[in-house]
Structure 1
Amino acid sequence: MTDAAGALKQAMSVIEGAIGAALVDYNSGMALATLDGGGGLDLNVAAAGNTDVVRAKMRTMDMLGLGDGIEDILITLSSQYHLIRPLTGRSGKGLFLYLALDKGRANLAMARHQLTKIENDLEV
């Protein structure tokens, strides 16, 4: 099992093209841990902003009566991918992993696969 700091360090070192990562509490919008890989992102601002995205999607799914869970949310920019992965384990309820990737260096499928593995090893 890996703690939050270890999980973010693993994401930044294992996932090709990673430029920033955070573990975020979407109830408060606060980043519990961040790790900047030189991408120049303000990860605390990203945490707060992406909290709104997660809350909106969960509200919409509830209004639609969808009983499914969110695997991940992908935001594609011209030069970056932003992945949001709500944690599904009991101890991770109310948290999500946020990962920003350089689009030119990242393999999106591998990044999603690695982020799933990191989530499974994360102990909060």
Structure 2
Amino acid sequence: MSNDFLNVFLNEMKTNVNGFIAVAVTEIESGLSFGNITVDPAFDPELAAAYNLEVVKAKLNAVKALGLNQDIEDILITLSNQIHIIDISPNKKFMIYLAADANKANLGMTRAVLRKHKADLEKNLA
């Protein structure tokens, strides 16, 4: 894995997502954090990703138990003043956890930025 590539990715999210608060990249199976960045010292993206990993695992299990032939692309959690997007890699090896200010972020643009970088991130985390 290229730490340089990961740092570029994290900074791209910080720069290109309006209302950016934090982002973390975490391996789904082990819970290992590949990296994270935040603009709010009171917001711990690694801890938030660890808790949200349980949401991802539960949803993956539910999809499997229901016999759905579907992939989870992302999970959206809307809070009163934040949006949290959990984006799952196509190979289901890692997740990207992103938090943004709901009053500043554009959901469509935020998803587009994530989608743009997800495939390259997957190649580099293999």
The alignment's TM-score, normalised by the length of structure 1, stands at 0.90
* One-letter amino acid of the structure 2 residue matched with residue 107 of structure 1: N
**Higher mean C-alpha deviation, range 62-71 or range 28-37:** 28-37
1:85 paired residue number: 87
Q: Of 45, 48, 57, which aligns to 2:47?
A: 45
Which aligned runs of 4 or more in structure 1 are off by greater than 4 angstroms?
A: none
1:22 paired residue number: 24
* One-letter amino acid of the structure 1 residue matched with residue 57 of structure 2: R
Q: Of 39, 63, 66, which aligns to 1:64?
A: 66
1:111 paired residue number: 110
Deviations along 1:67-121, one digit per CA (max 9) or x if unpaired, are 11011000000010000011115xxx42011100100100011100111001123
Q: Secondary structure at the match of 1:3?
A: helix
The alignment's TM-score, normalised by the length of structure 2, stands at 0.89
- How far apart are 1:39 and its partner, in Å? 6.2
Q: Secondary structure at the match of 2:58?
A: helix
- How far apart are 1:30 and its partner, in Å? 2.6
Does structure 2 retain, via aligned residues, the 8 Å contact 1:30–1:47?
Answer: no
- Two-structure CA RMSD over aligned residues (Å): 1.7
How many residues are aligned here?
Answer: 121
Identity of aligned residues (%): 36
Matches of 1:120 and 1:25, distance apart in 2 = 15
- How far apart are 1:47 and its partner, in Å? 1.5
1:99 paired residue number: 98
Matches of 2:47 and 2:73, distance apart in 1 = 23
Matches of 2:109 and 2:10, distance apart in 1 = 16
* One-letter amino acid of the structure 1 residue matched with residue 56 of structure 2: V
